[in-house]
């Protein structure tokens, strides 16, 4: 029985580390993502809520500028802009701009870290807030970000990022209340 526990523990640790038989692990994925050029892509997003009969669709652009600027420009159904730079989130809606210090909002800071960490290939930043679980191969992978902080874990079950090579294809945020959003990058 002890031998089986050891084997099971070994498999569990290998899965948690994201180590694959093909040598593709979290560190190698992060290196690939870090080497990818900054840029701008189009996206479509569906937000599913337990309070709504149908998902809410939105679309726009998502931009990343190294080292840490992420900008989401929503074009439909209404124009909004979310910009993360340094320790600040700037939200622009209806001609008004609101700024929030990420250091004053741990949940926002963790979400910003998930975006910046994945886009920049910053494994250390991701591990500050999440347990990382990688599945698949370099040709088709999924990285689950599971919150390690109880406060964040009350709201976010996990963030699943999937892609191919150094290209991110989809980001799914699953909330603990059953809501979820799925952003597909074009």
Q: Which residue has the higher pLDDT, 95 or 22?
A: 95
Residue 90 pairs in a beta bridge with 83, 99
Tokens encoding 156: 């976010």
SS3 state of residue 156: strand
User: Structure pTM?
Assistant: 0.85
In CATH terms, the fold of domain 20-185 is: outer membrane lipoprotein receptor (LolB), chain A (2.50.20)
Q: Is the pLDDT of residue 52 over 70?
A: yes
The pLDDT tens digits of the residues spanning 100-121 come to 999 999 889 999 999 999 999 9
Taking the alpha carbons of 149, 154, 70, 30 in that order, is the dihedral positive or negative? positive
Residue ranges of the domains in the chain?
20-185
């Amino acid at each position: 029985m002890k031998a089986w526990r050891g084997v099971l523990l070994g498999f569990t640790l290998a899965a948690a580390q994201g180590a694959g038989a093909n040598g593709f692990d979290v560190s190698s994925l992060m290196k690939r993502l870090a080497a990818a050029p900054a840029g701008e892509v189009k996206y479509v997003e569906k937000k599913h809520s337990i309070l709504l009969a149908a998902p809410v669709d939105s679309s726009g652009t998502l931009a990343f500028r190294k080292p840490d600027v992420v900008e989401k420009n929503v074009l439909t159904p209404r124009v909004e802009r979310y910009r993360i730079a340094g320790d600040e989130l700037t939200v622009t809606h209806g001609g008004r701009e609101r700024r929030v210090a990420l250091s004053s909002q741990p949940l926002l800071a963790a979400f910003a870290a998930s975006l910046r960490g994945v886009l920049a290939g910053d494994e250390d930043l991701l591990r500050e807030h999440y347990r990382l679980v990688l599945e698949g191969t370099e040709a088709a992978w999924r990285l689950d970000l599971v919150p390690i902080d109880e406060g964040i874990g009350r709201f976010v079950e996990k963030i699943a990022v999937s892609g191919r090579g150094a290209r991110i294809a989809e980001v799914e945020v699953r909330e603990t209340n059953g809501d979820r959003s799925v952003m597909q990058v074009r």
